[in-house]
Amino acid sequence: MWFESFAGTCSPSILCRVTEIPEHLLKRSRERRAAIGKGDDAGEGDPAASAPAATPATTEKAAAPAAASGPPVRAAAPAPEKPEPPKPDPAYVTAAKQRRKVPWWAMATLGLMPVWGFMYVRAVTEAPEVVEGPLGIGAEQYGACAACHGAAGGGGVGYPFSGEEVLMTFPNIEDQLRYVYWGTGEYNLAGVDVYGNPDRAGGPHVTNGRGVMPQQGSEAGGGLTDYQILGVVCHERYALGGADPASEEYIDEYEEFCSEESPVFAALEAGEFSLADEEVPAFTGPEGEFEIEVVGPPVEGSPAAAEG
């Protein structure tokens, strides 16, 4: 049938419209079908039956586009916010990161450099001369005297030693030993006003002229031994006062009292006599027999200088 053919040509995307067929055409069609022996089909002979048949097809075909669309599409989730880019490093940080690093082997070498430097300095530095005997003892003990007479013997509260000052006051070492041993207090008690050389250039030094000389001898209440007092006096005369141990004036004194082989120092250290003894035996030194005059109470002036 032409309308059936037309209905079959409808595509799912086109809504087909069925046109109502006139009754005389339907009757003619039934007669024609009966003439050729096909008979009257239930679905074809009744126009009412055929009309509804096209409607579902049309409906199905019309609904096809809606079915083709599929399930409803979900709304897309919002894209996550992008994190803010990191802030660029400051210039000094960038420079530090780009700077070349010191290799590990170089660090080990640099770590050993202080040790190498210390060993090198020790190798090229001359070892200090170790002074023994009276001068070595005197250098150790002079610290107590420096507060009054200066670290280099320049003077202060007490008289100076440098520039041969001490040699002018005490031309003989015995006089200086006696004064250091007894101190100003014992000289005052003995009524002695002038100690040392009374003919000193610039005038003699009087007992209470400049400060107070503390008592150093153990018997007088001081804290030094007799051989320590000898060491301090040797340091003041030869290290600070300028006496030349090789000169004719001082060579005998140096050998007997202040050299490392000094017999007087050895006897005092061994306790064979004391600077407070009234009688001292004669000693044999490099230049033969001699006797020291540093015993007894404080005396006026310098007996040894007077005899000379």
The 3 state secondary structure assigned to 186-239 is HHHHCCCCEECCCCCCCCCEECCCCCCCCCCECCCCCCECHHHHHHHHHHHHHH
Total domain count for the chain? 2
* Whether residue 60 is found in the same domain as residue 137: no
- At 110, the pLDDT band (50, 70, 90 cuts) reads confident
Distance of CA 85 to the CA centre of its chain: 41
**Structural domain contains residue 217:** yes
Q: Select from 40, 65, 90 the last residue of a domain.
A: 65
**Structural domain contains residue 293:** yes
Distance CA(176)–CA(190), nearest Å, equals 17
Location of structure tokens 């770590």: 111
Q: Residue 15: its pLDDT value, please?
A: 45
Q: What sign does the CA torsion over 88, 93, 99, 101 have?
A: negative
pLDDT digits (tens, 9 = 90+) for 55-80: 444 444 444 444 455 566 666 677 77
Query: Percent of the chain beyond pLDDT 90?
Result: 26
Residue 189 or 99, more confident: 189
* Whether residue 146 is found in the same domain as residue 241: yes
Q: Residue 73: its pLDDT value, please?
A: 62
Distance CA(105)–CA(118), nearest Å, equals 21
User: Which strand (E) or helix (H) includes residue 284?
Assistant: strand 283-285
Distance CA(207)–CA(236), nearest Å, equals 19
Distance CA(163)–CA(154), nearest Å, equals 8
Distance CA(197)–CA(195), nearest Å, equals 7
Greatest mean pLDDT range, 82-91, 96-105, 235-244, 282-291: 235-244
* Whether residue 145 is found in the same domain as residue 286: yes
- At 146, the pLDDT band (50, 70, 90 cuts) reads very high
Q: Select from 41, 65, 89 the last residue of a domain.
A: 65
**Structural domain contains residue 53:** yes
* Whether residue 218 is found in the same domain as residue 141: yes
Domain that holds residue 268: 133-307
**Structural domain contains residue 80:** no
* Whether residue 42 is found in the same domain as residue 138: no
Q: Residue 162: its pLDDT value, please?
A: 94
* Whether residue 6 is found in the same domain as residue 150: no
**Structural domain contains residue 275:** yes
* Whether residue 34 is found in the same domain as residue 183: no
* Whether residue 35 is found in the same domain as residue 148: no
* Whether residue 191 is found in the same domain as residue 284: yes
Which amino acid appears at position 116 of this protein? Answer: W
Distance of CA 265 to the CA centre of its chain: 48
Distance CA(205)–CA(215), nearest Å, equals 17
* Whether residue 51 is found in the same domain as residue 137: no
Q: Are strands 194-195 and 205-206 parallel, antiparallel or unpaired?
A: antiparallel
Burial 160-195 (b: 16+ CB within 10 A, else e): bbbeebbbbbbbbbbbbbbbbbbbbbbbeeeebebb
* Whether residue 170 is found in the same domain as residue 296: yes
Residue 96 or 226, more confident: 226
**Structural domain contains residue 153:** yes
**Structural domain contains residue 74:** no
Contact between 280 and 292 under an 8 Å Cβ cutoff? The reply is: yes
Distance CA(33)–CA(41), nearest Å, equals 10
Q: Residue 67: its pLDDT value, please?
A: 46
Greatest mean pLDDT range, 4-8, 23-27, 91-95, 247-251: 247-251
Written as six digits, the tokens of 243 are: 């006496």
Region 158-178: mean pLDDT is 92
* Whether residue 31 is found in the same domain as residue 139: no
Q: Select from 65, 93, 108 the last residue of a domain.
A: 65
Of the candidates 180, 184, 87, the one whose C-alpha atom is nearest the C-alpha of residue 141 is 180
**Structural domain contains residue 119:** no
